[in-house]
Amino acid sequence: MSVQTPPAFGISRFIPSSMRYGQFRYYWLALLTGVTGHQMLFQFTLGWLMFQLTGDEGYLGYLGLAIALPALALNLVGGVLADRLEPKVLVATAQSASATVVVGLAVLVMLERVEPWHILLAAFIAGVGQAFDQPSRASIFPRLVDREHIVNAVAMESVVWNGVRVLAPALAGMVIARLSIETSMLISAASFYVLAAVMSILRLRERPPAHGGVMQQIGEAFRYIGRNPIFLYVMLMTFCNSLFGISYILLMPSLAEKWLMVGAERVGWLLGAAGAGAIVGNWIIGSVPSNSPRGLLILFGAMLYGICLILFAVAAWLGHYWISMGILFVGGINFSLYLVGGLSALQELVPDNIRGRVMGLYGATWSLGPLGMAQAGFVARYLGAPVAVGIGAVVVLLVAVLIFVFRSDLRNFRGRQPEPAAEPARR
């Protein structure tokens, strides 16, 4: 049995269907707060602080490793716990722990006692927290709406992640330029505490907990993905994006100072252009009919994103700030088309009782983002940041072209009618 959303009259016709669920609205607003702080911290503030202390792109690589390795190693364990336990408790615990660590690091900055190893240790602890946070969050929001509205809920959640992903660094840049680095860090910590508090009081649709041994449950997740090749292709594309496609964000401190010749505030606005494009892309995904050729949308979005990154690398090499901004806006649109399109396909297809483990594996591909920061940082050290961005862009483009040419499963994917939810969603 499923709960129908209220009839849409007047202005409510323009409200996304998932936002008509009260519990999802609370979740979305809390996520907006927490992700803003998360992206301020991990996509800009920590990298800016490390670069100011060392002046070496290689240390940006070490920072990426410190975040990525624990998240990558523990993400599947986090997915198992998300299916066995109550995921909202796991999210609240992970967010609270991360916030406390960030407060401690901010105090060291205020006392002028911070050293690179302090930043690396804080990043490592935060990476452990992400391993338990990400799969739990991915299993929460589909239980706040009926299954026929999951694609819309994915698009709304991705508005936060893909929009704030680059708008938040713009905010961090302004806060750092006008106030201080420690102020930016404390804002992030406060947002984590807010997200933890709201997660702890959400009312979720009931779902049976997973049973059996840990290895048995992990094996079940791998077998499920093996039976569904679309999952493999989407995860491969996300893997390539995390390792190669978002290096331009992670290298922004170097691109700003050495190539574009701008400070923290102006590079923040540059990233904001990509964020605005990502929001447009999310709106397109949320508006696409359920029977549309979504596989082609994903693949062409990936190809165009790779092309945009190549053009951005050239523009940055030549020091063209405004051209770079326009390219990143278009790139942001295509970024959302292929990544949000892929995520919505996974969330629509996966059943609730295995969602945490499957999304834990998917989240492991996202956890490679900081690892991509490491490889890009080392390439940038010897060849320059624009070259590192360009190499990553070629990989993203090549993988999308190969899947398009040789794999018809994703090319012909048009989605399917969602199964009804087992229990009604609470409002």
Chain mean pLDDT for the chain: 82
Is 15 within the bounds of a domain? no
Is 197 within the bounds of a domain? yes
Is 425 within the bounds of a domain? no
**Whole-number Å distance between alpha carbons of 184 and 133:** 22
pLDDT for the residue 269 = 79
**In the 8-state DSSP scheme, what is residue 227?**
T
pLDDT for the residue 417 = 41
**Whole-number Å distance between alpha carbons of 208 and 351:** 11
In this prediction, residues 107-136 reach a mean pLDDT of 87
Is 417 within the bounds of a domain? no
pLDDT for the residue 169 = 76
In this prediction, residues 343-360 reach a mean pLDDT of 78
pLDDT for the residue 80 = 79
Sign of torsion, CA 74 76 79 84?
Answer: negative
Is 6 within the bounds of a domain? no
**Whole-number Å distance between alpha carbons of 278 and 420:** 30
End-to-end CA gap in the chain: 15
Residue 426 near residue 4, CB atoms below 8 Å: no
Domain containing 169 equals 20-411
This prediction has a pTM of 0.71
**Domain harbouring 132, CATH code:** 1.20.1250.20
DSSP 199-221: HTT------PPP-S-HHHHHHHH
For 45-90, the pLDDT digits (tens) are: 888 888 888 877 677 778 878 887 887 778 778 877 877 778 888 8
- Of 364 and 163, the structure prediction assigns the larger pLDDT to 364
Residue 167 near residue 282, CB atoms below 8 Å: no
Helix (H, G, I), strand (E, B) or coil at 418: coil
Most confident range, picked from 138-152, 173-187, 353-367: 173-187
Q: Residues for the chain: how many in total?
A: 427
Is 174 within the bounds of a domain? yes
For 146-187, the pLDDT digits (tens) are: 777 777 787 788 778 766 766 787 788 888 888 989 999 999
Alpha carbons within 13 angstroms on the beta-carbon side of residue 331 total 29
Q: Which are the contacts of 117, defined by CB distance < 8 A and separation ≥ 6?
A: none
pLDDT for the residue 255 = 87
Which residue is associated with the tokens 């959400």?
Answer: 202
**Cα separations in angstroms, 342 against 233, 236, 294:** 9, 11, 9
Is 332 within the bounds of a domain? yes
Is 132 within the bounds of a domain? yes
Q: Which of 46, 20, 169, 154 is nearest to 108 (CA)?
A: 46
Sign of torsion, CA 258 262 263 264?
Answer: negative
**Cα separations in angstroms, 409 against 3, 154, 293, 296, 397:** 32, 22, 12, 11, 19
Q: How many domains does the chain have?
A: 1
Residue 427 near residue 5, CB atoms below 8 Å: no
For 303-336, the pLDDT digits (tens) are: 999 999 999 999 999 999 999 999 999 999 999 8
**Whole-number Å distance between alpha carbons of 123 and 421:** 38
Residue 309 near residue 248, CB atoms below 8 Å: yes
Most confident range, picked from 67-71, 128-132, 135-139, 308-312: 308-312
- Of 373 and 82, the structure prediction assigns the larger pLDDT to 82
**Whole-number Å distance between alpha carbons of 357 and 363:** 9
Helices (H), 181-320: 181-199, 214-226, 229-240, 247-250, 252-254, 264-287, 294-317
